[in-house]
Amino acid sequence: MKQNSNSRRLAEAAREKLSYILLFEVSDPALELVTLMGCEVSIDKSQLRAYVSCDPRRYAEVSEALERAKGRIRSKLGRSLGWRVTPNITFIIDTSTDEAERIAKALGDAPATLSIQKDEFGYPIVGDNDEEAEGDDDGGM
């Protein structure tokens, strides 16, 4: 969505109101432990994208619960914002934290060969003892 400074300010206000609504005014048990990560508001205030995060095993359950409660949430948001237009809300599951966790785990499981010192061309640096051993083999012929 195209953003400017005014729409970013409006998105922050909408995020605060929407997080309050999700926390205190919606009583669906499927929406427990859901975090509102951010919002984007279109310039004409007709569309709002809300990014939510939850446990990866609950993506489908949370998506269905948000779709069921969308009308009530939109109504409460429209009254609390006081804008002339109540935006249509699109809830999007934010998986960026799960991806970051997956990448951190993959980096933690790096193979031991990455710790070997390499020269500027990427070849392992051979110690002095290894070079002398190679020289002894050539001289014996």
Is 102 contained in some domain? no
For 78-117, the pLDDT digits (tens) are: 999 988 999 999 999 998 888 888 888 888 877 777 778 8
In this structure, are 60 and 36 located in the same domain? yes
| 56 within domain boundaries | yes
In the three-class reduction of DSSP (H, G, I as helix; E, B as strand; rest coil), residue 31 is classed as helix
Domain of residue 115: give its range.
107-139
Same-domain pairing of 129 and 91: no
Give yes or no: residues 121 and 72 share one domain.
no
> Could you tell me the CATH number of the domain that includes residue 82?
3.30.300.20
Whole-prediction pTM: 0.71
Residue 133 — pLDDT band, cuts 50, 70, 90? very low
Query: What digits encode the pLDDT tens for the residues 45-85?
Result: 999 999 999 988 999 999 999 999 999 999 999 999 988 99
Helix ranges restricted to H, the chain: 5-20, 59-81, 96-108, 128-139
